[in-house]
A and B are shown apart, each in its own frame.
Chain A
Amino acid sequence: MLSKNQARTFFLGGTVVFFLIFLGLSWHTLAREVPKQTNAQNLTESVIRGKEIFDKNNCMGCHTIMGEGAYYAPELTKAYERKGEAYLKTVLTVKEPWAPRGRKMVAYAMSDQDANDVIAFLKWVGEADLNGFPPKPDLQSKVPVPSK
């Protein structure tokens, strides 16, 4: 039967080994792969400022981005592609809460510059290679279309 000492060795040994593997993989991911996959060369000043504004206003408190955040408002990873620049600009700059379909967003009334930065950030996020996320709707083609 397993002794207490063996159990302790299992715990300490396992922890150290797997933590070291994890550190190695993390280093490889961050140093080698993430810059390529996220187009780090496109992280302009505007994108970085956009991220700061995104953070400061806790946009993640309603939306998800790269699938992370809250579930009250739409996924933003592909918002730039889906809605386009002009639409996003309106949403960020209006002085009344944006609520085209009833659900209210905070009225940020951003300056032109701030809105442009946030949009640059969203464009950058949309161009990152997320291994296929968000998925294409795979059942859409199976929904029968009634003939007129």
Chain B
Amino acid sequence: MKYKSQQIAWWFFALSGVLLLLQITYGFIMAFAHLGYDGLHDLIPFNAAPATHKNLLVVWILSGFMGAAYFIIPDEAEHELISVPLAKLQFWSLAIVGVVAVIGFHLNWWEGRKFLEIPRPLDYLVVVNVLLFLYIIIMTLWKGKKRTTTSLVLTMGLLFAALLYLPGMIWFDNQTMDSFFRWWVVHLWVEGVWELIMGGILAYLLIKLTGVDREVIEKWLYVIVGLTFISGILGTGHHYYYIGTPKYWLMIGGIFSAMEPLAFLGMALFALAMYRKGEKRHPNQIALNWTLGTAIISFVGAGLLGVAHTLPAVNMYTHGTFVTAMHGHLAFWGAYGMLVLGMITYATPLMTGRKLYTAPGASYAFWLSNIGMIGMTTAFAAAGVTQVYLERKVGMDFIDTQQAMEVHFLVLIAAATLFTVGIVMFVLNFFKYGKPTDEALERA
């Protein structure tokens, strides 16, 4: 690591790890509630749990992206961040807004709009926070010696992500319009601009870990993010089938969203090809595991499991069931969770100057969390298919269906336990490295 200001990334990564653990806790609360154990109901009513689970998810991923940007941009631009105190301020304000939002959820202070539960007044603080972040990144890039494709794609993704947050803040009286714009945030984030961020971070990691020529990697980066937008923008239509919007979206959404896996397939093939091609054997093999892992699992979770319910005739029956939750888990984990953990795994030894990546814990963390998550996905799939058939196809009552699904939640909890052991090991490992040191500068 060359630039001292890159050390700020450590704080964002630490926040990511802590919030991930907290997110998982709420996952267990929901899984037990689905089994009939809702002892916490008076303290944490069920609806507080998904709001917390999903918002913590978004915040730890965003915190990971921000940490990644603070680490990558100085390195790519060959320039220190323009201001470390400002970056620290941005970090603390992010952490505080996140904590206040989560506490608010437990006090009935929220908006019941899935993924966008943060109440409007806090939204404005989020906007200010993100503007500050973008200012630091863009100015650093501006003043830097180089503006590489990797850094531009990453920055463009972050900028667009901020812009797309805004339509989610408009108030509509009509539920359909409300939902229409909710998808501008949720869909155009995960199946659009976040893929730019993913592409940028992935390209950076591949350049560093495989030693393949930058020009080759960056050319394919453009192709992949091109595919993302060509399919993903109109692919938004797969959320406009059954919410009071016209029928032409069935056709448009069906066709374009069915092409969305191409971008993820592109990322997987790209990562594997660069891995094969690379001559360098970077000592941090576990970071390479995460990097190849994110490219492959995102294709399975987002690409394959996404396309599984994206055609209108299928989605008619699976819309709003545990089939959606099955896909949501593996997609988020594969594309963005593993990506952030991969970035942390790559950057931590460089920031701290210690090389714990040969410790067995790092390897167990990788395998346990992934095997656990695949088990969870399978449990959600079993629950989802049961629900679709009993409730939607046969017409059984809601609660009778839920009772028939209970066994799958037992399996979910078992698999989630494996997953959690992996994540706990990951976070412990991260903290074992200690804080960044100045001795680590230059040495890498």
Give residues in A with beta carbon < 8 Å to B: 2-4, 7-8, 10-11, 14-15, 18-19, 21-22, 25-26, 28-30, 33-35, 37-38, 40, 43, 47-48, 51, 54-62, 64-75, 97, 101-104, 106, 121, 125, 128-135, 137-140, 143
Check if A66 sits within 8 Å of B242, measured CB to CB: yes
Q: Is the CB–CB distance between A106 and B45 below 8 Å?
A: yes
Find out whether the CB atom of A62 lies under 8 angstroms from the CB atom of B46.
yes
Residues on the B chain within 8 Å of A28, using CB: 246
Q: What residues on A are CB-neighbors of B175 within 8 Å?
A: 38, 51, 65-66, 121, 125, 128
**Is there contact, CB below 8 Å, between B392 and A135?**
yes
Q: Which A residues touch B110, using CB under 8 A?
A: 56, 58
- Closest Cβ–Cβ distance, residue B116 to chain A (whole Å): 10
CB 8 Å contact bits of B101-119 with A (1 = contact, 0 = none)? 0000000101111100100
Contact B215 A4 (CB under 8 A): yes
Cα distance A11–B228 in the bound complex, in angstroms = 9
In the assembled complex, the CB of A118 is this many whole angstroms from the nearest CB of chain B, namely: 12
A11–B221 alpha-carbon span in the complex (Å): 9
Name the interface residues of B193-241: CB closer than 8 Å to any CB of A.
Answer: 215, 218-220, 222-223, 225-226, 229-230, 233-234, 236, 240-241
Q: Interface 1/0s, chain B 16-50, versus A by CB < 8 A? A: 00000000000000100110101001000111111
Of A51, A65, A125, the contact of B173 (CB 8 Å cutoff)? A51
A81 to chain B minimum Cβ distance, whole angstroms, is 15
Q: Which of B47, B219, B247 contacts A2 (CB 8 A)?
A: B219
What A residues does B250 contact at CB under 8 A? 131
Whether B112 contacts A34 by the Cβ 8 Å rule is no
Check if B226 sits within 8 Å of A15, measured CB to CB. Answer: yes
Size of B's binding interface in residues, CB under 8 A: 72
Q: Is the CB of B244 within 8 A of A130?
A: yes
Minimum C-beta distance from B89 to chain A (A):
31
Number of A-B contacts defined by CB within 8 Å: 202
Residues B115-171 near A (CB distance < 8 A) = 117, 149
List 29 A-B residue pairs with CB atoms under 8 Å apart, sorted by A's residue number: A11-B223, A15-B229, A19-B233, A22-B236, A25-B252, A30-B177, A34-B174, A34-B245, A34-B246, A38-B244, A51-B175, A56-B110, A56-B111, A57-B108, A58-B108, A58-B117, A60-B112, A64-B320, A67-B243, A67-B319, A68-B243, A71-B322, A72-B30, A72-B46, A104-B41, A134-B392, A135-B316, A139-B389, A143-B394
Please indicate which of the listed interface residues B34, B175, B226, B247 has the most CB atoms of chain A within 10 Å of its own CB: B175
What residues of chain B lie closer than 8 Å to A55, measured between beta carbons? 111-113
Please tell me if the beta carbons of B244 and A7 are within 8 angstroms of each other in the complex: no
* B317 adjacent to chain A (CB < 8 Å): yes
Q: Does B222 lie within 8 Å of A4, measured CB to CB? A: yes
State A97–B38 Cα separation when bound (angstroms).
Answer: 12
Residue of B nearest to A26 (CB): B180
Q: For window 286-342 of chain B, which residues contact chain A by CB distance below 8 Å? A: 316-317, 319-322, 324-325
> Within the assembled complex, what's the spacing in Å between the Cα atoms of A84 and B444?
69
Which of chain B's residues have a CB closer than 8 A to the CB of A139?
Answer: 389, 393-394
Whole-angstrom distance between the alpha carbons of A140 and B149 in the complex?
56
B92 touches A (CB below 8 Å): no
CB distance from A132 to the nearest CB of B (A): 7
In the complex, B360 has a CB within 8 A of chain A: no
Interface-central residue, B38, B47, B240, B394, by most chain A CB under 10 Å: B47
Per the bound structure, the CA–CA distance linking A40 and B177 in Å amounts to: 11
* Inter-subunit contact B393/A137 (CB<8 Å): yes
B34 touches A72 (CB 8 A): yes
